[in-house]
Every structure is written in structure tokens, then in C-alpha cells.
Amino acid sequence: RQHYPFLVLGGGCGGVAMGARMKRKFGAENVAIVEPSEMHYYQPMWTLVGAGAKSVGASGRPTASVMPSGVKWLKSRVAELNPDKNSVCIDSGTEVSYDYLIVALGLKLHYEKIKGLPEGFEHPKIGSNYSVKTVENTWKALQNFKRGNAIFSYPNTPVKCGGAPQKIMYLSDAYLRKTGRRSDAHIIYNTSLPVIFAVKKYADALWEIVKKRDLHVNLRHNLTEVRADKQEAVFENLDNPGETKVFKYEMLHVTPPMGPPDVLKDSLLADQAGWLDVNKETLQHVKYPNVFGIGDCTNLPTSKTAAAVAAQSGVLDRTITKVVKKDQPDKKYDGYTSCPLVTSYNTVILAEFDYNGQPLETFPIDQGKERRLMYYMKADVMPQLYWHGLLKGFWGGPGPFRKVMHLGMK
């Protein structure tokens, strides 16, 4: 049996950021992070990897290199959560107890919920930017595109980075134009949602783009089956259950159904839907005051992104400091999240918004327009901000910059 005052579950984006912050406040010897993977990936880069603009190698670094030095890395999976005993069980059978627990387990991809997957990925013409195992298949399918339908799916569950399923469509469109094959392609976005994007300002801009570029959007279409040997994808009509439609494809990009990690879903820490049940302003667990959450595994009603994790990390750092001192948490998370909507190989619409779905833009220019500056931010600035700012516990989101940038302008 081991004990750590501060135990972090998951060594992805939120877990490493919080590990670094807890080390700075409370000392490295008091912090441990449980994470089984040897590699840590900057997932936002996979959108560009799928379109051939970055290499998959550039998106990953050894987990050992991102662990805050001196913090204990328990290279294991969490197998059981026992908040009534202030402890967890890890794979090795060891019980690890804590004074304060930070849950940052991310979410689980469910390719297997689509009939014919994951084995369908052994065939060509199909890829998925959501997994390191399949992201390069997207780029292969795009390069080998001859003639027919290019189809992009969006599942009937919460997802991380809600824009990513369509970003790869815009990049594919741009690639096919660049290589003179666009007239041989029928490009289709089949989404389970009733809208193209949740925030009206950006949705309006995206509808303009799909019209101008001849991209066909079908709302309430949910991918249920892939017959990869026949290059067929089956979608159900969510407004008319039981009704299905078969699409032939020359290229298929799959965004899988997603859900909470199993270990969390089956625990006392989960809400009805299986996500970590936290206070939406303080990120403290609603039932266990010494448990906190960050990122994709939580039930925070905002879009699941690394940008959101950055803003949450600043708030959670403050909440924990207050709780440790037996004070009331005071800093409040406003739901800030951001999605750089890549619309070509050199443009981005930088969506930023809060819990109310209101735009909350950092720069004093209209971010609803496609901009080259924002592409440069997405492709070259964000990775640096991630590795050297967010993971080191120094980047708590653009809030303070927004205030400075808008001085005298609003």
C-alpha cells in the first residue's frame, strides 16, 4: 500500500498540467500521477496529420519526458475507485491512498459500437484522426482518392473537439482542389447533430463555407455500420429511427462514438451518464469534497478540448489551494473552450465560447472570419503553448490576454 497527499489519475493533458501545478504548490514528493502509456500525444495535431500537413511522429513525446521531475509516475492503469476509503486500486493489485484526488482520465473511443469496426480499418479508403493507430490511414485514403464520395461522420454521443470531424473535410476539399481532382469528388458531411456547430456565430460562417465549396451536409445522420470490403457506410436517420441509408464511398473518415472511461463509469464518482460529477464552477466533486476533476472525463457542460483544460487548470489550482486551507473556493470557471476550425491549409476560424454558447474571443478582431494568422496560431503556436505552457502548469488559458487585448476596444 502506498500513500500520496495528491494523487492524479491520468497523465494526459489535464493530468500532467495538474501534476505540475500541485508540485509547484505542495512539493514534488507529495504528488503521484497514474498513467499506463509510454507515449504522450498532442492530439490536436492529428487533424493536420490526417491531411498530410504534419507527421504523426511530431505529435508525440515519451511520457517520461512530460512527467514533472520528482513527481512519482505510477506506470499502471487505475482499476478501481474507492472514494469512501480515499483510495484507488491500480493494475498491479496495489492499493494507493490519497488526501486529495484529481481525476483526469479523458474519454474512451468506441469504434466497436460501429458494426464492422475496428477490423474495417485493415481495408484502405478509411481512416480516423481520433486515434494514433488510424490517423495515417486518413492521409493515405486522401492521397489515393480517385472518384466518388468522400464521407465524414459525426457520432451520436458527446465528442472531444467537436470541430475536428469537419476540419478534415475542409482540408480534404482543399487537397483535392490543389491536386486537380475536386470535380471527381462528391463531399458529404453526415452528422448526428441537428446543427453544423453549436455556436450560431460560427455556424453561420461554416454554412457559408460549405455552400461556397459545394460540400453536402446531412443533419441527423448517424453512422452505424461500415462494410469496408464493399466500401459502403450505413447511416441511420435519427429523426426516423429504423430508417437507414447506404452510402458508397471512395474515402470515409470516421469519428467514433465516445463515452466515459469504464473505471469511472462504474464508480461512485460518476453521474447517471457515467461522467465525473463535478461542480461546474469550482471543479470540486459534488459528493466527495477531496475529489476534483478536469478535462474530457468530467460532466462540465462545455465542449471537451485542450483549450478548456487550460482554463480549467487555472481554476482548479486555485480551488484546491483554497480547499487545502479549509477556505471556500472562489475562482469560477466560465465554461471557456476553444476550437480552431481549420478551413484549409492556411486558414482557421478560431471559435472561442463559454457555457452560454456566447463567443468569448481573445483577439480584438472578428474571429468568425477565416484567417491566416489563426492558422499559424493553430499549427505553430499552439503546440509550443501545449508542451511548454499548459503541461508545465504555466498556461491557464487566454483569459488575462483577452482582457488586455480588448482594453479600450469594447
Count other C-beta atoms under 10 Å from residue 368's C-beta. 21
| 3-state SS class at 172 | helix
13 is catalytic: no
Residue of 30, 47, 192, 367 interacting with ligand FAD (CB under 6 A): 47
Contacts of 102 (CB under 8 A, 6+ apart): 6, 7, 8, 9, 15, 18, 22, 291, 292, 293, 294, 316, 320
161 is catalytic: yes
Partner from ligand FAD, ligand UQ1, none binding residue 188, C-beta < 5-8 Å depending on class: none
**Position 396 contacts ligand FAD (CB under 6 A):** no
**Position 11 contacts ligand FAD (CB under 6 A):** yes
Nearest approach in angstroms of CB 342 to ligand UQ1 is: 10
Catalytic residue among 13, 89, 297, 339: 339
Nearest approach in angstroms of CB 363 to ligand UQ1 is: 7
- Is the separation of the CB atoms in 319 and 284 below 8 Å? yes
Contacts of 381 (CB under 8 A, 6+ apart): none
Contacts of 356 (CB under 8 A, 6+ apart): 335
Q: Pattern of binders to ligand FAD over 302-321, x per CB under 6 A?
A: --xxxx-x------------
- Is the separation of the CB atoms in 141 and 129 below 8 Å? no
- Comparing CB distances to ligand UQ1, the nearer of 116 and 398 is 398
Subset of 48-77 contacting ligand FAD (CB under 6 A): 77
**Position 15 contacts ligand FAD (CB under 6 A):** yes
Catalytic residue among 13, 89, 161, 297: 161
Residue of 173, 236, 250, 296 interacting with ligand FAD (CB under 6 A): 296
Nearest approach in angstroms of CB 352 to ligand UQ1 is: 6
Question: Taking the CA of residue 393 as centre, how many other CA atoms within 13 Å lie in the half-sphere pointing to its CB?
Answer: 18
**Position 114 contacts ligand FAD (CB under 6 A):** no
Amino acid at position 129, single letter:
N
Nearest approach in angstroms of CB 382 to ligand UQ1 is: 4
320's grid cell: 484546491
Residues acting as catalytic residues? 161, 339
